[in-house]
Chains A and B, each alone.
Chain A
Amino acid sequence: MKMAMTTTVPAKRYSNSTYRTIKRMKALGLYAGVAAVLVYMLFPYYWAIVSSTKSGQALYQFSLVPSLDFSNYWQLFHNPVFMGALVNSGLVAFASTMISLVIGILAAYALGRLQLSPGRIILIAVLMISIFPQVVVLSGMFEVIGWLGLYNRPSALIVSYLILTLPFTTWILTSFIRDLPTELEEAALIDGCSRLRVLTHVLLPLMGPAIASAGLLSFILAWNEFLFALTFILTDENRTVPVAIGLLTGSSRYEYPFGQIMAASVTVTLPLLVLVLIFQRKIVAGLTSGAVKG
């Protein structure tokens, strides 16, 4: 009787070495899969880099080795329209990011913390706004820009990009604020802080990660935006980079400046890459540890 109770039904199993082999095969499979995905994702960028260093006839030969000819970049940096567009893009993306962060933080504090009864409805409305495709709002936006007298000005883009960046900035920041311990804020209130001081001295310093990711996303979005930039800007000196690249022309009408376009694409990606590298640590870091008993 006792024996019967202690014996377990032996599961069918292979030898230890079989499991070891299986484990290795799995690891191998995983790395192969990762490699395949990486190649698939990175190839277009690599191709752009390779092509950007070729010119003339070399462009039409298939080769995966960059030929280290930087004449495309040289030409590009001496193209006043492109350089102007780079500056415009920087200004527009920076300004719209900053504005959407400021509004987003204030909105998120209200929606995430203050007991507002219409808060839920507002949040859902904000989400609905971000569902509409850009084309739907394009003509309406065009009218608004006209009324505001901003047509063919970079500030038209700053205003219109808010429609794209503000919804998700608000969402990210709202959910982050909700996750911060309420007691921190109550402690600050007890310490005599006004609502604004609570926000600026207690919540903001803790929101670094959320602000970094929301800011980065909206910067990328504004930096890459094409449709509004094409529609609301008429003249070359006010263009932003994505449109400027699309309108790059060669020395003659019949030449398609493929090498230069590739060089421009690479150049445009670099600032984003730098930003991501700077902020990635911030995004990963969890600052709140230690606030509450750990």
Chain B
Amino acid sequence: MASVTLKNVSKAFGAYDVIRSINLEIEDGEFMVFVGPSGCGKSTLLRLIAGLVPVSEGDVFIGGEQVTDVPASKRGLAFVFQSYALYPHMNVSRNISFALETARLGKDEIRRRVTKVAEMLKISHLLDRRPRQLSGGQRQRVAIGRALVGEPEVFLFDEPLSNLDADLRMEMRFEIVKLHGDVKTTMIYVTHDQTEAMTLADRIVILNQGRIEQVGRPRELYDRPANRFVAGFLGSPRMNFAPLDRAASSAGVLRGVGGFYHAAELAGAENPTEIGLRPEALKLVSAETKGAICGTFERMEDLGYEYVCYVRLSETLVWTVRSTGRPPAFTEGQPVGLGWQPESLYLFGEDGRRIDHDSAVQLASGASL
């Protein structure tokens, strides 16, 4: 078990900066998840920690020790690859024990550890098979077994579940949570699936173009995103955004698309240029409701346990509304209103940073009294 610390870590492939000066502290025993859009450098960051890719600049510490120039084979980590990367010419048992053989452990010790891991992962009956004779889920378990057997200081996972079907993915997700509960080792997990990120993580790192956008607990990132990117990245369907019309706005009165203005909520906020509302924060109301945003009903997706409605606010702007229960009976093209609670409104400044909203509301209520 060990903590992992990155200090000003950068990586460039040729002239192309993939990781830009990242500082990060991962605590001992923590389950840390890296998420971000495709190509943002998640895998590269993980490989930098593993030592599979040398850093261009900066330092990596594992367990408080500087390991920047220590080769991958000596870092005492385990890595689970997206493609599993099982040795095709070895059976499951040897795949798992190969690291121990390399470390020259005794035969009995090796057998004891392999048996223990195989039982833990319920793959004891597969030990004599070759990887190509296994299903995707079984290969995944073997890959995890191979990582587990060396009793590493840190586990690294690179999208380990992305090759599995939905049911199996859910099952394995649950098992990984359980595994972390059992071994309590530091785990770093890369994914682009936000469900995985939200459910697995103690803390999430959101990466974008080689930079950290925000680090925090899942709930914290969801409720208090640092900026527009994080707000739009977490949540499905994603957050609804609408620009504010600055020219038409004056102090305390801000105008946006669809001809709505909401002096009460927005007054006092410093220079917001955009508002954001999550789909589940919106309610469909009749078009005449005072203070509601007006639009026309476009279409609805009924998913059984919930429904998603699409409401057009302007030529270019369609908002989503998500809710549970019986879907409402609107017809296409019918004018509808969208209502929300003041505290669910997000404001973003010109640079994309979220403008703290609690104070905005309080100022507003104070001002209007």
A287 interface residue per 8 A CB criterion: yes
Complex CA–CA separation, A191 to B105 (angstroms): 13
Instruction: Contacts A290-B130, A293-B136 given; indicate if A189 touches B72 (C-beta within 8 A).
Output: yes
Q: Is the CB of A291 within 8 A of B79?
A: no
- Residues on A with beta carbons closer than 8 Å to the beta carbon of B150: 191-192
- Residues on A with beta carbons closer than 8 Å to the beta carbon of B12: none
- A259 CB to nearest B CB, Å: 49
Count residues on chain B whose CB falls below 8 Å from chain A CBs. Answer: 31
B285 interface residue per 8 A CB criterion: no
- Residues on B with beta carbons closer than 8 Å to the beta carbon of A288: 88
**Which residues of A192-209 have CB atoms within 8 Å of chain B's CB atoms?**
192-194, 197, 201-202, 205-206
- Residues on B with beta carbons closer than 8 Å to the beta carbon of A188: 87, 98
Instruction: Contacts A181-B83, A197-B102 given; indicate if A290 touches B73 (C-beta within 8 A).
Output: no
Q: Is the CB of A186 within 8 A of B73?
A: no
Q: Is the CB of B73 within 8 A of A192?
A: yes
Instruction: Contacts A186-B72, A206-B89, A290-B130 given; indicate if A191 touches B98 (C-beta within 8 A).
Output: yes
- Residues on A with beta carbons closer than 8 Å to the beta carbon of B79: 186-187, 190
A183 interface residue per 8 A CB criterion: yes
- Residues on A with beta carbons closer than 8 Å to the beta carbon of B136: 293
Q: Is the CB of A193 within 8 A of B84?
A: no
A4 interface residue per 8 A CB criterion: no
**Which residues of B128-144 have CB atoms within 8 Å of chain A's CB atoms?**
130-134, 136, 139
Which residue of B74, B78, B83 is within 8 Å of A292 (Cβ)?
A: B83
Q: Is the CB of B102 within 8 A of A289?
A: no
Which residue of B50, B77, B98, B131 is within 8 Å of A291 (Cβ)?
A: B131
A246 interface residue per 8 A CB criterion: no
Complex CA–CA separation, A194 to B99 (angstroms): 11
Q: Residue of A at shortest CB range from B79?
A: A190
A contact residues vs B (CB 8 Å cutoff): 181, 183-184, 186-194, 197, 201-202, 205-206, 287-294
B contact residues vs A (CB 8 Å cutoff): 50, 52, 71-74, 77-79, 81, 83-89, 98-99, 102-103, 130-134, 136, 139, 146, 150, 163
CB<8 Å pairs between A and B, sample of 30: A181-B85, A183-B85, A186-B81, A187-B81, A187-B146, A188-B87, A189-B52, A189-B73, A190-B50, A190-B52, A191-B73, A191-B150, A192-B102, A193-B102, A194-B73, A201-B98, A202-B87, A205-B89, A287-B89, A289-B132, A290-B130, A290-B132, A290-B134, A291-B83, A291-B86, A291-B131, A292-B83, A293-B84, A293-B136, A293-B139
A-B interface, 3 closest residue pairs, ranked by CB to CB distance from nearest: A290-B132, A191-B99, A183-B85
